[in-house]
């Protein structure tokens, strides 16, 4: 069953787009819209952000930008060097206290992760067994899960920053996230998702169809009863207790499923638990759903594909990584593949944008220019 990840091998990405004939069409949902007419003009000074810092990986610049979220100004860029080729940092994980930031480096020639120690003001890059497809913090915050192209999830101890075990699978793990029940939920490139003991790797919930190919990212509702999966052209909804896929949601505003719909790439639940935000490759905009009935509330506009988003700890701000207009070329999965190729190879993307929005109203409050390819950011408080 092994296949190659959509995220890191150009030929495989195109193959996934062609292979969409095996994907399950999505069921329709109600269409919605967001009124952004009351959003402030973007040339007005930004006022009132939370005290803290947003770390933003810049994939095609081999850097992590640090933004002061009180003023939305970039204060520094941390270079990430690897032995051979570009590093391409794209996804960030953090310790619960925010003292360390971990990056997965998408560079194909030097598989690695980087560790940014904010307390000691140091950055260290360490090799991993194979190309990392993501990086995630365990439920207790003591470990980091690194799903990799080599059919393995490596587990790192944050106290020592060393790999303490390797969990091997028969499929390529694209994601490895902690569930509210303490299990490690692994999404596979094949479109399956299962739950495993994070210490032994023993199967607790057998792999089931997640609703589409390449289950790279997923989000639990706050009560832990529903799991939303992000796949090539739809969003799956899984009943966690019954452990079954109950429906799929279209990644198009019209609510109609289709093989050429854009890819649902990553997602986050709002701090109050009421809304699901889904980023897309292959079409502009971040979709916003009501977690009660899974209805589409609207779409936050962007100028290009969106890799990820996050929220400040107090829930007053949301942050969207907009790849910019150079990422918009061909709609649907083919456009998704082109964007991936730009991110993981030489990179022909122009500058990106970090969008700050109000999670209450979903109105855009500010934009901040970034280097090409802003990735999945992480908000942290200032260190004491």
Q: Which of 98-112, 175-189, 197-211, 332-346 has the lowest mean pLDDT?
A: 332-346
Average pLDDT over residues 229-238: 95
Task: Give 264-313 pLDDT, tens digit per residue.
Answer: 999 999 999 999 999 998 899 999 999 999 999 999 999 999 999 999 99
CA distances 356 to 48, 300, 312, 372, Å, are 12, 11, 10, 18
What is the pLDDT averaged over residues 82-88? 94
Within 10 angstroms of residue 214's Cβ, the number of other Cβ atoms is 30
Residue 326 CA from chain centroid, whole number: 20
Q: Give the model's pLDDT for residue 1.
A: 35
Distant-in-sequence contacts of 234-239, Cβ < 8 A, 24+ apart: 234/23, 234/24, 234/25, 234/26, 234/261, 234/264, 235/26, 235/211, 235/264, 235/267, 235/278, 236/209, 236/210, 236/211, 236/212, 237/211, 237/294, 238/193, 238/208, 238/210
**Rg of the chain on CA atoms, in Å:** 19
What CA–CA distance (Å, rounded) separates 123 from 304? 30
Taking only the tens place, the pLDDT of each residue in 86-111 is 999 999 999 999 999 999 998 889 99
Contact 172, 119 (CB under 8 A): no
């Amino acid at each position: 069953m092994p296949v190659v990840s959509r995220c890191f091998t150009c030929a495989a990405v195109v193959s996934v787009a062609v292979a969409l004939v095996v994907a399950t069409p999505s069921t329709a949902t109600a269409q919605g819209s967001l009124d952004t007419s009351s959003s402030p003009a973007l040339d007005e000074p930004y006022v009132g952000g939370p005290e803290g810092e947003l770390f933003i990986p810049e994939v095609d610049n081999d850097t992590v930008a640090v933004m002061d979220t009180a003023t939305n100004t970039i204060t520094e860029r941390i270079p990430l060097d690897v032995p051979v080729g570009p590093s391409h940092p794209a996804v960030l994980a953090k310790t619960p206290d925010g003292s360390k930031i971990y990056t997965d480096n998408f560079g194909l020639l030097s598989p690695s992760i980087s560790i940014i120690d904010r307390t000691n003001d140091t950055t260290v890059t360490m090799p991993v067994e194979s190309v990392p497809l993501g990086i995630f913090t365990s439920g207790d915050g003591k470990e980091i899960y690194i799903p990799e192209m080599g059919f393995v999830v490596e587990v790192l101890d944050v106290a020592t920053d060393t790999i303490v075990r390797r969990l091997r699978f028969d499929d390529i793990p694209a994601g490895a996230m902690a569930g509210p029940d303490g299990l490690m939920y692994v999404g596979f490139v094949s479109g399956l998702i299962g739950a495993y003991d994070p210490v032994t790797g023993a199967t607790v919930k057998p792999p089931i169809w997640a609703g589409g190919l390449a289950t790279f990212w997923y989000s639990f509702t706050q009560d832990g009863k529903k799991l939303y999966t992000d796949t090539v052209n739809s969003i799956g909804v899984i009943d966690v207790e019954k452990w079954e896929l109950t429906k799929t949601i279209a990644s198009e505003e019209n609510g109609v499923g289709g093989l050429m719909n854009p890819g649902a790439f990553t997602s986050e639940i709002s701090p109050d638990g009421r809304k699901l935000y889904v980023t897309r490759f292959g079409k502009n905009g971040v979709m916003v759903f009501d977690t009660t009935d899974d209805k589409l509330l609207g779409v936050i506009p962007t100028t290009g594909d969106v890799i990820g988003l996050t929220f400040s700890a107090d829930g007053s701000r949301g942050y969207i990584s907009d790849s910019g207009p150079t990422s918009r070329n061909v709609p649907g999965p083919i456009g998704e593949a082109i964007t991936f190729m730009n991110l993981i190879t030489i990179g022909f993307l122009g500058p990106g944008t970090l969008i700050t929005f109000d999670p209450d109203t979903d109105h855009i409050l500010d934009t901040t220019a970034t280097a090409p390819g802003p990735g999945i950011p992480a908000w942290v408080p200032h260190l004491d």
